[in-house]
Amino acid sequence: MTPKPLLALAVTAILACSANAQTKMELKDLKQKASYAIGADIASNMKRQEIDVDPKAITAGITDAFANGKMLLTEAEMKEVIAQFQTELRTKMESKQKSEGGNNLKAGQDYLAANGKKEGVKTTASGLQYKVLTAGKGTKFPKATDTVKVHYHGTLIDGSVFDSSVERGEPISFPLNGVIKGWTEGLQLMKEGDKFQFTIPSDLAYGERGPGGKIGANSTLIFDVELIAVEGEK
């Protein structure tokens, strides 16, 4: 996960430096409301990424820059410290990702071992696990080059939902060779109308990097998938 540019992060300080100031401020026009919304969005991103900054120092930098006043650091010094800070952020995030990835990998392996012993669960040569939830009446199986239309509900092994077309109330179509390996393999086992549950090892999902958000590095993923239609090659 890449931190947002520090210049953009600095905007947060106007709103984050004082809770009292935020409470007393009245947003009277579109400019103020938009400025507030931008700051709130950036602050939320900073918290989510656990970026540790000093709001007062950021506020001082913004104030001096807008006032064209005397800066406490030269332009060269600012470039240097920003580069150093970004390097530090990357190092911390990579260390955290590695630690979480190890924990996720072990938890996923334990879950797969237990899940594979459950009634109705089958495991393929690649390690993909699947269970037939509902057998459809269709006869058409997709190929890897086909586009398919599905409804799905995705969770982590702790039950946390990270994505769900079911919750959005709208199925989705996509080329089967453009998704994670577990989906490409698993959907080819289904015929139209089938509903399967897939338990996908991390190496058939997003692997060591992870896509960010709720899905961390080396996460094992669970999907309930209904194959609505095989739309063919497009």
What would the DSSP string read from start to end of 15-50?
HHS-HHHHHH----SHHHHHHHHHHHHHHHHHHHTT
Q: Which residues of 155-164 are buried (b: 16+ CB within 10 A; e: fewer)?
A: bbbeeeeebe
Catalytic residue among 152, 198, 222, 228: 152
Q: Rounded to the nearest 5°, which phi and psi values hold at 58?
A: -65, -45
The C-alpha atoms of residue 95 and residue 98 are separated, in whole angstroms, by: 5
Q: How far apart are CA 11 and CA 41, in angstroms?
A: 10
Determine how many CB atoms are found less than 10 A away from the CB of residue 168.
Answer: 10
Q: pLDDT value at position 23?
A: 55
Is there a catalytic annotation at residue 152? yes
| pLDDT at site 3 | 46
User: Contact at 8 Å (CB) between 159 and 167?
Assistant: no
Catalytic hit among 58, 194, 223, 224:
223
Catalytic residue among 51, 163, 174, 203: 163
Reply yes or no on whether 163 is catalytic. Answer: yes
pLDDT, mean of each 10-residue run, the chain (234 residues): 46 45 76 86 78 80 83 92 91 77 92 97 98 95 96 96 95 95 97 97 90 87 97 78
For the question of residue 162 being annotated catalytic, the response is yes
Asked whether the whole model's pTM tops 0.75, one would answer no
Q: How far apart are CA 153 and CA 133, in angstroms?
A: 13
Catalytically annotated residue among 62, 82, 180, 203:
180
Phi, psi angle pair for 195, to nearest 5°: -130, 120
Catalytic residue among 111, 196, 198, 206: 206
Is 206 catalytic? The answer is: yes
CB-based burial label for 115 (10 Å; 0-12, 13-18, 19+):
middle
Whether 51 is catalytic = no
Give the fold, CATH level 3, of 118-232: Chitinase A; domain 3 (3.10.50)
Task: Please say whether the beta carbons of 201 and 182 come within 8 A.
Answer: yes
**DSSP secondary structure letters along 135-179:** --S--PPPPTTSEEEEEEEEEETTS-EEEEHHHHT--EEEEGGGS
- Three-state DSSP at 223 gives strand
Tokens of 151: 């409804």
Q: Is the dihedral of CA 98, 99, 104, 110 positive or negative?
A: positive
**Please, where in the chain does CATH 3.10.50.40 lie?**
118-232
